[in-house]
Structure 1
Amino acid sequence: MTLTTGAASADPVRPGDRGRLVSAERTTTLTTKQDVAAALTAAGFDAAAARFGVDAYRLVYRTVDPGGRPVTASGLLVLPRGGAPALRTVSFTHGTVSHRSDAPSAMVGAGFVSSPALTYASAGFAAVAPDYLGLGAGPGPHPWMDVPSETTAALDMLRAARAFVPRTGRALGHDVLVTGFSQGASAAMGLARSLQAGDDRWFRLRAVAPVGGAYDFEHAELPALLDGALEPKSSVLYSAYLLVAWNRLHRLYDSPAEVFRAPYDRTVEALFDGAHTGPQLFAGTPATVDALLTPHALAMLRHPTGPLARALRVADSTCDWAPAVPVRLYAADADEQAADANTDHCAAGLRSHGAEPTVVGLGTPDFAGSRHLGSNVAATAAVARWFGELR
C-alpha cells in the first residue's frame, strides 16, 4: 500500500505545512497476536501485552530543520488490527542510532528500535515513532541530541499520523501517552512539554514515561563519561557524536584536530554521516575517551563555555517544567551508558516545579550484555501495562 500526496518543498514554511503527509507505505503486517508475540520474542522483548495483530507504515512528512527551514522526515506508524475505531496514541522516541537504516521506519518487523512501537500497537494503541531528522528517509545528517528538532519532528509525526489514520478506517483521539528511550527520553520530555503548552490544538498530553535518559549532560552524563564511570567504548562514541553533531549546529571548533587526536581527526566526522554502520563506528574509534579527545576537548567538555554551554542549557532543560499529568521515570540500576544521576536530577528538577514524578527502578535488566539496552526491553513491558491502566 503506497499513498503519495506530494513532494518536499524548498519554499518557506507555510501555516499548516508542518506535519503535512508526503507519502505512506505499508511495510509490515503481522496478522495475529501470535505473529506479533513470535516477532517480539525473537527480538528479545516481552510479548505479554500482545492482543492484536498489527499493520506498520512508513510515513514521510513535512517538518522543519533546526534553523526553521522546511525539510522532510520519516517515521513509523503501527496500528492494531482490532480494538476501538478511535485509538489512543503512544508516541515512542527511540534511542541513539547513527545509520539511517537503523531508524524505526526502516525496519521490517521487530527490531530493537521498532519493537516498542509494535508492543504498544499490539496492546491496542496507535504507536507513533519518529525517526528524527536525517534518519530513515530524511535527508541530511542527523542532529543528535538536539531536543528542539527532536520535539518538532515528533510533534509533526503525530500530525502526519492523524492525517493518515482515517484512510485505514480508524481515527486518533486527543490523548497522547509519551514515552522514549535513552536519547528518546529527552525527546519524550520535549514533546510532552510541547503538548502541554498547547503547541497542537488537537492532541492532549495524558502521561509521560521516559526511560534511561541523559537528561543532564553537563552535570551528570559528561562528568561520569569523562571520569571513566561509564562503559568506555560507549563513552567514546557518545562524545564523538556530540562534538560532530553539535559542531554542525553550534560551531564548537574550526578544525577536527582541535578536538580529536590523530589519526581520528581525519576520519571521525565522516563516520557520523548516516551511511556508516554501528560496527564501522566501533572499528573506526579508539577504546577510550582519552585516546580520542585532545586536552582542549577534554577541558571544553569538563568546563563548558560559549556555544557549548548555551547548547547544553537547552538540552538539559527537559525536566525544567511542571507536568500536569502522571510522570514515571524508568531507569536500570547502575546503567553503564546513562549515568544514574541523570534520573535523580530530572526527578529533582520536576519536583522543584511542584510535580510529583515516580522513579521506577528496573533492577539489572540485560540485553546483549547491556543494562542500558536492557532497560528499553524491561520498560517497554512495564510502560505498556501502565498505559493500559490509564483511562
Structure 2
Amino acid sequence: MRNIISYFRMFKKTFFLFFVPLFFVVSCDTTSDTPIVDPTRYLVSDQFNRTITQQQLAAFWALAGQSEASTYALYDIDIYRIVYNTTGLDGRPVEASGAIMVPKGIENPRLLSVQHATIFNNDEAPSVDRPGVISVITRKALFASMGYITFLPDYLGYGVNAGMIHPYQHKESLATASYDMIMAGLEFIEKKNLQPSDFSVNMLGYSEGAYATLALAELAETSESIFETGFISVGGGIYDLSSTIDYLLQNINKPNECVPCYAYFIYVYHNIYDLPGTLSDYFKEPYDETISGGLFGGGFSDSQIRAILPVNSKDLIRESFISEYLEGGFLELRNALQENNIDYIPAATVLIAHGTADSVAPVFNSDQFYENALLAGKTNITYIRTEGANHSTGIFDWAIETLEALDRRSKFAAIR
C-alpha cells in the first residue's frame, strides 16, 4: 500500500511541478487571496485526544440497555483529532477535520469509514468530542473496539470550519469530505507505522450518514481511487430527496419525528443554492426569523431546537409554499433536490436496513433502492425491513445487524 501511496504522490507531484506552474504563469492573478494548499498531501495535523477502554464501552452499552452490543467491545481504542485538506462548496481548497479511532492490542486491524447521522451542535462533531457530551465518538467507538481503524469525518460546517454552513444532505460535499478523510487516514496510518490487514475500506452510516455513505461509495467506485470499497451498511436514509419532500408536504398533518431535520434541510438548501426569495416563503412567523437568526448555526442542541420549533410540521411550513410547490412551483429548489438524489448502486456488498414506521426517512427510500438494485442485477445486497420500527428505534436494529456482519467478515478474513 505504501508503494501505491508513493506512486500516487509521485504522479501528483510531477503533475503539479511541471503543469500547474505553467498554468499559473499564463492565467493567475498574483494578487488573489485564494488559499494555497499543498496538493500532494491530505493530512495536515493529528493530535492524540484520549483513550476509551473496552470496559468503559461495554459498560456504556450495557447501561443503555443494549447488552448484545456490549459484547462486541473487544479492544481499548486511542482517539486522535485530525485536520486535513479537502474542497469547499465553492471548489476552493479548505481544511476540514475529523477523528480517527485506533484499536489497541491488535496486530492487523481492518479499515472502516463511519459517516455520522444528523447533528445540530458542533460539540457533537467527532473531532470535538467534548467531555460530558454523548457525541458521535461515544456512539461509534464500538465499531473501532471490534478491531477496526475507524475514520470519522466531521463534514464541512463542523470542527475546524464550524463557522461555515453545513451542506446537509448535499451529495458532492459529503462524498468529497468523507473521501478526503479516508485519504488523510491512509497517510495517518503510514505516519504511525500501523499495519492494517488490507486496504479495503468498509463504509457505514445511519440517517444522514447513510446518504453520505452511498455518496462516498459512488465517488470511490467511479474515480481512480487507491483504496478498494469494502462492505457497505446503511440504515434509515433518505436517498430520493425529491419524493421525500413531496411526501412530507402531501402528508403535512401527519406526525413527524424530526421537524428540525426538515427545517434544517430547507434552510441549508435555500442558502447553499442561493435560491430566490427569503426563508419567510417557507416558514411561518415567528419561526422564519428564528431560523434565519442562527438557530442552525451549530450552537444549539437537538433538544434545544425541538423546544423552540413547533412539534408538528403543519405549524412550521407555510400553506402557500405547500400548495405552490406541489403544483410545480419553486423550480430552483426542485432542480437542487433532483441533483442530489442518490441513484447509484454500489458494486460492493451492501446491507440496507429501514424501519417501516420511520417518519423522518420514509421507508419507500430503501424499498426503491432495493428494487432498483435487483433490477440492475445486483445479488450481493441484503435488505432488512423492520416492521414497526421508527427512526429512533430502527438505529438499534441496523447497528446490531451491522456489528454481526462486520464480525462475520473479520472472522472469515482471519481464517483465509
The TM-score with structure 1 as length reference comes to: 0.87
Aligned to 1:187: 212
Output the amino acid matched with 2:239.
Y
CA distance in 2, matches of 1:13, 1:310: 32
Once residues 149 and 177 of structure 1 are traced to their aligned partners in structure 2, the CA distance between those partners, rounded to angstroms, is 20
Q: Deviations over 1:153-201 (max 9, x none)?
A: 1001111111112343314432011110101111000111111113422
- Residue among 24, 39, 57 paired with 2:60: 39
2:402 pairs, out of 367, 370, 383, with 383
SS in 2 for 1:244: helix
Partner of 2:176: 152
> What residue is the counterpart of 1:174 in the other structure?
199
Contact 2:255 2:312 in 1 (8 A): no
Aligned to 2:118: 96
CA distance in 1, matches of 2:313, 2:135: 26
Unaligned runs of 5+ in 1: 1-8, 366-370
Q: Within 5 A, what are the aligned runs for 1:72-111?
A: 72-85=95-108, 87-107=109-129, 111=134
Q: What is the aligned partner in structure 1 of residue 30 from structure 2?
A: none
Give secondary structure in 1 for the equivalent of 2:349.
Answer: coil
Shift of 1:282: 1.5
Match of 1:289 in 2: 313
Report Cα offsets for 1:15-45 as digits up to 9, x if no partner. 435xx222222222024x2232123334555
Matched, 1:250 2:269: no
1:266 counterpart = 2:289: yes
Q: Distance in 2 between matches of 1:268 and 1:92?
A: 29
Where does residue 324 of structure 1 map in the other structure? 347
Partners in 1 of 2:83 and 2:247 — Cα distance?
38
Inter-partner Cα distance in structure 2 for 1:95 and 1:154: 13
Length, aligned pairs only: 370
User: Does the 8 Å CA contact 1:214/1:221 hold for their aligned counterparts?
Assistant: no
| 8 Å contact from structure 2 (residues 116, 205) kept in 1 | yes
Q: How does 1:223-242 map onto structure 2 within 5 Å? A: 223-224=247-248, 226-228=250-252, 231-232=255-256, 234=258, 236-242=259-265
Aligned to 1:5: none
Given the alignment of the two structures, is residue 28 of structure 1 paired with residue 50 of structure 2, yes or no? yes
Cα 1:327/1:313, change in 2 over 3 Å: same
Q: 1:347 to 1:275 in 2, by over 3 A?
A: same
Q: How far apart in 2 are the matches of 1:156 and 1:230?
A: 39
Worse-superposed segment, 248-257 or 172-181: 248-257
Is the CA contact 2:126–2:136 (under 8 Å) kept in the aligned structure 1? yes
Please give the root-mean-square deviation of Cα atoms over the aligned residues, in Å: 2.4
Matched residues in 2 for 1:199 and 1:308: separation?
32
Correspondence for 1:208 = 232
**Sequence identity (%):** 27
- What is the alpha-carbon distance in structure 2 between the residues aligned to residue 311 and residue 363 of structure 1? 32
> How far has the Cα of 1:128 moved from its partner?
1.1
In the alignment, which of 157, 173, 191 is matched to residue 134 of structure 1? 157
Amino acid across the alignment from 1:389: R
**Which of these residues, 101, 122, 142, is aligned with residue 119 of structure 1?**
142
Partner Cα separation in structure 1 for residue 298 and residue 387 of structure 2: 33
| Residues in 2 aligned to 1:225 and 1:121: alpha-carbon distance in whole angstroms | 40
Aligned-residue offset at 1:116: 4.8
Contact 1:334 / 1:340 at 8 angstroms: preserved in 2?
A: yes
Counterpart CA distance in 2 for 1:47 and 1:128 is 21
CA deviations over 1:324-368 (Å, ceiling 9, x no partner): 221111112312322111111111222332223221134556xxx
**Contact residue 104 and residue 114 of structure 1 kept, 8 A:** yes
Gap change, CA 1:220 and 1:278, over 3 Å in 2: closer
Closer, same or farther: CA 300–29 of 1 in aligned 2, 3 Å: farther
1: CA distance, partners of 2:89 / 2:224: 17
Which residue does 2:340 correspond to in 1? Answer: 315
Structure 2 vs 1, CA of residues 230 and 44 (structure 1 numbering), >3 Å: closer, same or farther? farther
How far is the alpha carbon of 1:64 from its aligned partner? 0.9
The 3 A distance-change label for structure 1 pair 71 and 378 is same
- Seen in structure 2, the aligned counterparts of structure 1 residues 113 and 333 have a Cα distance that, compared at 3 Å, is farther
3-state SS of 1:79 partner: strand
Judge which range, 252-261 or 154-163, deviates more: 252-261
Flag the structure with higher helix content: 2
Structure 1 position 210, deviation (Å): 0.5
Matches within 5 A, 1:50-65: 50-65=73-88
Q: 1:233 and 1:362, CA in 2 relative to 1: closer, same or farther beyond 3 A?
A: closer
Pick closer, same or farther for the CA change 1:30–1:287 going to 2, 3 Å: closer
In structure 2, distance between residues paired with 1:242 and 1:51: 38
CA distance, structure 1, for counterparts of residue 248 and residue 319 of structure 2: 17
Q: Which amino acid aligns with 1:68?
A: G
Q: TM-score, normalised by structure 2?
A: 0.82
- Secondary structure of the 2:127 match is helix
| Paired residues of 1:48 and 1:381 also in contact (CA < 8 A) | no
Q: Does 1:335 align with 2:358?
A: yes
One-letter code of the match for 2:406?
A: F
Q: Between Structure 1 and Structure 2, whose CA radius of gyration is higher?
A: 2
CA distance in 2, matches of 1:253, 1:40: 47
Q: Which runs of 5+ in 2 are unaligned?
A: 1-32
